[in-house]
Amino acid sequence: MKLGIIGLPNSGKTTIFNALTRSTLATGAGTSGQFEIHTAVVNVPDTRVDQLRDMYKPKKTTYTQVTYVDIGGLDKGIGEGGLKGEFRNQLGQLDGFIHVVRAFKDENVPHPYDTIDPQRDVESLDGEFILTDLVMVETRLEKIDAELKRKGKTADKAVLDEQEMMNRLKAQLEAEKPLRDLNLTEAELKPYRGYGFLTLKPTLIVVNTDEATGDVGIAYEHAMSMVVNLKGRIEAELSQLDPDDAVMFMEEYGITELSADRVIHVSYQLMNIQSFFTVGEDEVRAWSVPIGATAPEAAGVIHSDLQKGFIRAEVMNYADLLAAGSEAALKTAGKFKLEGKEYIVKDGDILHIRFNV
């Protein structure tokens, strides 16, 4: 999962990046409007992995991971005529966005629009993305129209289907609504994934507050979207502390969960992703699959050979295993299952794949 941290200049997105990744990137307005990318890969915190590690005492423990990309270069008016070039390409390759919106006040850090207005800022950047997608759709429709004029009745049905879909997308964008609100099925989307439409991507709005600011509400009723409030500066400082010191600091400021944990968990919800586990003496490992994935599809995440030669899956539920205390006790309780190719993997499943290649 690769998530882009975006936002207007001086919104504190690099501060949020530091909080999530324990990085120490310099923050400030010095690079406003300049195209700049920073990437970090972090483990997804999961107490279930910790519990399984304690139970199996493996040689190796592996968590799922998320890649955060801090993309600098968004500035007021940068999207006039639609975002272009490498900046647009980088945004198109991401799985989703963490849009940092400023709610804190600091006279030493000027806002590009002079005043603090989180709702306005969200709508401003959304407008840039809608325009960028609209330019792409209109460009594609022009090429389709030219092809249909050239080929006439000999045109492929796929081209006609694409024209119909592009007109549908155009109408949505002209109404100034993101494409994800169309709630298209995966089958409908698959032929068009390569376009990297920005307003199709799940978006988490992170309202960046401070100790003097309470939670700020934002109206953002869109599909595959959520809003959270974070005290960015404080949590970036917390990420650099020793764990014991961090606990004391959190108690002082009334913070019950670090931003990294909260943002990752919410991101998983938005991306329609869940975790399953494999266990043993060699390794306890967490894996990510889309919600609704079948057992063979989960096997393919582990290794393509497992999916090709899939016979069946031995399935345990994490909560059941923890309650039983051991695999033997779980089997005695009749909660150890053998499932076939049609089985839909559930969050917290522990799988052992039987296969033959």
Residue 9 above 80 pLDDT? yes
Q: Is the pLDDT of residue 264 over 70?
A: yes
Q: What is the pLDDT of residues 119-142, one digit of tens each?
A: 999 999 999 999 999 999 999 999
Could you say which of 2.60.40, 1.10.150, 3.30.460, 1.10.3470 is the CATH number of the domain covering 131-199?
Answer: 1.10.150
Eight-class DSSP state of 6: E
* Cβ atoms of residues 21 and 68 within 8 Å: yes
CB 236 within 8 A of CB 269: no
Instruction: Tell me the longest C-alpha to C-alpha distance in the chain.
Output: 73
Average pLDDT of the segment spanning 138-165: 92
Better-predicted residue by pLDDT, 252 or 48: 48
Beta carbons within 8 Å of 200's beta carbon, 6+ residues apart: 133, 178, 179, 180, 189
Domain ranges of the chain: 2-113+200-270, 131-199, 292-355
CATH number of 2-113+200-270: 3.40.50.300
179 band by pLDDT with thresholds 50, 70 and 90: very high
pLDDT score, position 34: 63
> What is the pLDDT at residue 89?
87
Neighbouring CB atoms inside 10 A of 285's CB total 19
Q: Which stretches of the chain are DSSP H helices? A: 13-21, 47-56, 85-92, 118-151, 157-174, 186-189, 232-238, 243-253, 259-270, 295-302, 304-308, 318-324, 327-332
* Digit-coded pLDDT (tens) for 200-256: 999 999 999 988 888 899 999 999 999 999 989 998 999 899 988 888 888 887 777
Would you tell me which CATH number, out of the four given (1.10.1200.10, 3.40.605.10, 3.30.450.20, 3.10.20.30), belongs to the domain 292-355? 3.10.20.30
